[in-house]
Amino acid sequence: MSEQPIPPTSQTPAVRSFKPLKPLDVALAELLATVTPCHDVEMVDLADADGRVLARDAVSALDVPGFDNSSMDGYAVCVAEAVAASERGLPVSQRIPAGHFGAPLASETVARIFTGAPIPEHADAVVMQEECAVDELGRVTVVVPARVGQNIRRRGEDVGQGTCVVAAGTRLRPDHIGLLASIGQASIPVVRRLRVALMSTGDELILPGQVAPADLPPGAIYSSNAFFLAHLLKRLGCEVHDFGNLPDSLEATKHAFREAAQNHDLVLTSGGVSVGEEDHVKPAVQSLGQLDLWSIAIKPGKPFAHGRLDRADGAAHFIGLPGNPVSSFVTFLVLVRPFIQKLSGQASAEGPVGEALQLTANFDWPKPDKRREFLRVRRDATGQLHLFANQSSGVLTSVAWADGLVDNPPGQAIAKGDTVTFLPLSNLLG
C-alpha cells in the first residue's frame, strides 16, 4: 500500500523559502560588524586580574631591573685586576647581599656578592663562586678566565622606563600580571565583565537534579547545553545569569527575552532556531527588536540566529544557537567566542578557529559533507589523529572524548595518511 502524502497546512508550508548557505568566514565578519567593543572600565587588584581585559596600555615608570645586579652568588671583580693577581689572589673587601647597596669596589680587592645584589661601582664582572679558589688567608683567585660583563644583569634589560609592557586589549594571563607587578602596579584598569543571559528552549528539557533519572517523564531529556555554555562564557570572563529552561511558547519566550534584555549585554539561547512551528525564538526576537536567521555552511551547526532586543536605553545583542548539543558547542567556539572577545574589548581576537596544526589522519572519511565540517578527533602520542566513531550532532560524548577538531573543507574526502587541519580544543576553550 502506498503512503498518502500529508497535505500542507498553514503551519507546514508546502514550499520552503530557500536561502543559500553562508560560509563561516562571511557569517563571522557580518556578526563582528555588529559589535561595538565595551568601553566601561573598572579598577581591579592584581589578585583579581586573571582573565580580565586590560583597558589601557600599561607603561612602566621605571627601569626593570632598576640597577645592574648580580645573576650569581660569587665575587664582584675588576677583571683586569683579577687577571693581574692570578698568582697571589685578592682580598675580600666587602660583602653585598641582595637588597643592600655596597661601597665602590676598592682597588686590588673583590666583593663577596649574592644573586640580585647591586654591582658595586668599579666592578665589571661577577665570577661564580665555583670558579674561584679561596686560600687560607681568605684571598680569592679566579681560576676560570673571566670576561668583562659576565653574570651582570643590566639595568633596564627586562623593561625600559617608558615602554608599554602590556597593551590595552590584552586578556591578562598570570605572566602578564607578574609583569605588571614588576613595574609596581597594584591595581589596573580593566573592561568590566560582560553580562550574559543564558536560556535553553524546549518543552522536553528538564534540569539535572529536578527529577531523578528513573523518574524522567517519557520524551523528556536533561538539558546539557546551558551547562557547557555557562562555563565557556565564564572562561571568557563573562558574568552569566542562567534563566533556565523556556517552554516552547511564544508568550513565555517573549516575556523572558524582554526581562533579560534590560540588564544584559547579550542574551544567548540554545534550541528553537530551526523553522519548525515549535521554534518560537525567531518571532519572539522579531517582536522585540530585530533578527537575522542564517544557515551557515558548517557541520555540525547549521542554524544560527543573531539580532538585537531593544530596551529603553539601547539594546542587548541576541544570539540563538542550535539545540543539538554538538552543534551548539561548535557554533559557540567558531562564532560566539570571537564575538565575545571583540565585545569584551579584547584586541587580538583571532580568526574563528584559533591556532591550527597540520597533522596526519589515521582514519578514512570517504563521504564528506558539502559544508565545512568540524570532526571530533583525538591526537595520539605520535601526533596521528583518530576519529570518534559517531559524529552525530547529538552525541556530546564525541566532544568530551576529543581533544580537537579537524577543520575539513567542504566536500573534502579524507584518506588515512592525509594531512588535515587540526584545531586543539585546549586553545579554543581558554
The binding site for ligand AMP (CB under 6 A) comprises 200, 202, 204-205, 221, 223-226, 270-272, 274, 322-325
- CB closer to ligand AMP out of 202 and 237: 202
Report the C-alpha gap between 385 and 237 in whole angstroms.
31
Q: In whole angstroms, how close is the CB of 25 to ligand AMP at the nearest point?
A: 24
**Residue 33: C-alpha distances to residues 26, 330, 342 (Å):** 11, 21, 10
Kindly give, in sequence order, each residue whose CB lies less than 8 Å from that of residue 111, ignoring residues fewer than 6 positions away: 75, 76, 77, 92, 93, 94, 95, 96, 102, 105, 120, 123
CB atoms within 10 A of CB 403: 14
Is 320 a residue that touches Mg ion (CB under 5 A)?
no
Q: In whole angstroms, how close is the CB of 204 to Mg ion at the nearest point?
A: 7
Residue 151 binds which entry of ligand AMP, Mg ion, none, with Cβ cut-offs from 5 to 8 Å by kind?
Answer: none
- CB closer to ligand AMP out of 74 and 323: 323
- CB closer to Mg ion out of 187 and 249: 249
Residue nearest to ligand AMP (CB): 323
Which phi and psi angles does 48 have, rounded to 5°?
-110, 15
* Binding window for Mg ion (CB under 5 A); candidates: 162-170, 224-232, 272-280, 416-424: 272-280
Residue 118 binds which entry of ligand AMP, Mg ion, none, with Cβ cut-offs from 5 to 8 Å by kind?
Answer: none
Residue 225 binds which entry of ligand AMP, Mg ion, none, with Cβ cut-offs from 5 to 8 Å by kind?
Answer: ligand AMP
Closest CA to 301 of 283, 287, 288, 319: 319
- Tell me the three cell numbers of residue 333: 567556539
CB 302 within 8 A of CB 327: yes
Which DSSP string do the residues of 348-378 spell out, in sequence order? T---TT---EEEEE-S-B-S--SSEEEEEEE
Q: In whole angstroms, how close is the CB of 320 to ligand AMP at the nearest point?
A: 9
Residue 74 binds which entry of ligand AMP, Mg ion, none, with Cβ cut-offs from 5 to 8 Å by kind?
Answer: none
- CB closer to ligand AMP out of 296 and 361: 296
- CB closer to ligand AMP out of 320 and 404: 320
Report the C-alpha gap between 234 and 370 in whole angstroms.
34
Q: In whole angstroms, how close is the CB of 200 to ligand AMP at the nearest point?
A: 4
- CB closer to ligand AMP out of 151 and 324: 324
Report the C-alpha gap between 132 and 113 in whole angstroms.
13
CB 180 within 8 A of CB 46: yes
The 58-87 site mask, x for binding Mg ion (CB under 5 A), equals ------------------------------
Q: In whole angstroms, how close is the CB of 264 to Mg ion at the nearest point?
A: 22
How many angstroms separate the first and last alpha carbons of the chain?
A: 57
Q: In whole angstroms, how close is the CB of 270 to ligand AMP at the nearest point?
A: 5
Using DSSP bridges, classify how beta strands 195-201 and 239-246 pair: parallel, antiparallel or unpaired.
parallel
Instruction: Please name the helix (run of DSSP H) or strand (run of DSSP E) that holds residue 81, with its range, or none.
Output: helix 79-84
Query: Which amino acid does the sequence have at 96?
Result: I
Query: Which amino acid does the sequence have at 145?
Result: P
- CB closer to ligand AMP out of 58 and 198: 198
- CB closer to ligand AMP out of 169 and 272: 272
Q: In whole angstroms, how close is the CB of 196 to ligand AMP at the nearest point?
A: 16
Rounded to the nearest 10°, the torsion over CA 331, 337, 342, 344 is 130
- CB closer to ligand AMP out of 271 and 307: 271
- Tell me the three cell numbers of residue 104: 665602590
Q: In whole angstroms, how close is the CB of 273 to Mg ion at the nearest point?
A: 9
Q: Sign of torsion, CA 263 268 274 276?
A: negative
Residue 70 binds which entry of ligand AMP, Mg ion, none, with Cβ cut-offs from 5 to 8 Å by kind?
Answer: none
Residue 170 binds which entry of Mg ion, ligand AMP, none, with Cβ cut-offs from 5 to 8 Å by kind?
Answer: none
Kindly give, in sequence order, each residue whose CB lies less than 8 Å from that of residue 92, ignoring residues fewer than 6 positions away: 75, 109, 110, 111, 112, 138, 140
Q: In whole angstroms, how close is the CB of 220 to ligand AMP at the nearest point?
A: 9
Report the C-alpha gap between 130 and 263 in whole angstroms.
65
Is 322 a residue that touches Mg ion (CB under 5 A)?
no
Is 89 a residue that touches Mg ion (CB under 5 A)?
no
Which of 74, 202, 325, 338 is in the footprint of Mg ion by CB under 5 A? 202
Is 271 a residue that touches Mg ion (CB under 5 A)?
yes
- CB closer to ligand AMP out of 63 and 279: 279
Q: In whole angstroms, how close is the CB of 288 to ligand AMP at the nearest point?
A: 19
Residues lying near Mg ion in the complex (CB under 5 A): 202, 271-272, 323
